[in-house]
């Protein structure tokens, strides 16, 4: 099943929209991250897995492909943890798909599922408003 969540990547002082796509498919369990993610985003696999488990959700025991689109835009930082987790929950049927419609989000996840602040939230909020987002979810420290 496929699910999408909206976020943004900070490029200098400007945010560029990023669609986080999560696809679950039959096959050997594992997570593949594509779309020019940096090391911090590659490490989000472990943060998201632990955060979901420690928050009472179940991790999918299937092949997971996470795409950060557009593929030619370099993405940096841990702010994609939250959109990856939310899209994963929708793709696995643990969260209703309509809850992500019009939602933009960013945030680093702690292993216990808590949200940690991230850079670029003001630029993200401006870009979300420009794209007529219905809601924005960020860590409390960034609000």
Q: Does domain 2-142 have CATH number 3.50.50.60?
A: no
Query: Is the pTM above the cut of 0.95?
Result: yes
When pLDDT is cut at 50, 70 and 90, the band that residue 60 belongs to is confident
When pLDDT is cut at 50, 70 and 90, the band that residue 1 belongs to is confident
2 pLDDT above the threshold of 90: yes
Q: Name the burial class of residue 96, with classes exposed (0-12), middle (13-18) and buried (19+) by CB atoms within 10 angstroms of its CB.
A: exposed
Nearest in space to 1 (alpha carbons), one of 138, 93, 71, 68: 93
Tokens linked to 39: 């090391």
Question: What string of DSSP letters covers 15-48?
Answer: EEEEEEEEEEESSSSEEEEESSB-HHHHTHHHHH
Please give the DSSP secondary-structure letter assigned to residue 110: P
């Amino acid at each position: 099943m496929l699910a999408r969540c909206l976020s943004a990547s900070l490029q200098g002082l400007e945010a560029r929209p990023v669609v986080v796509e999560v696809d679950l498919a039959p096959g050997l369990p594992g997570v593949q991250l594509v779309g020019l993610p940096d090391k911090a985003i590659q490490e989000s696999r472990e943060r998201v897995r632990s955060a979901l488990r420690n928050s009472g959700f179940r991790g999918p025991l299937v092949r997971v492909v996470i795409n950060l689109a557009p593929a030619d835009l370099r993405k940096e930082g841990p702010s994609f943890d939250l959109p990856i987790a939310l899209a994963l929950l929708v793709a696995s049927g643990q969260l209703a798909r309509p809850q992500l419609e019009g939602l933009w989000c960013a945030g680093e996840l702690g292993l216990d599922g808590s949200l940690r602040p991230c850079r670029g939230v003001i630029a993200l909020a401006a870009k979300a408003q420009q794209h007529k987002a219905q809601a924005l979810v960020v860590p409390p420290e960034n609000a």
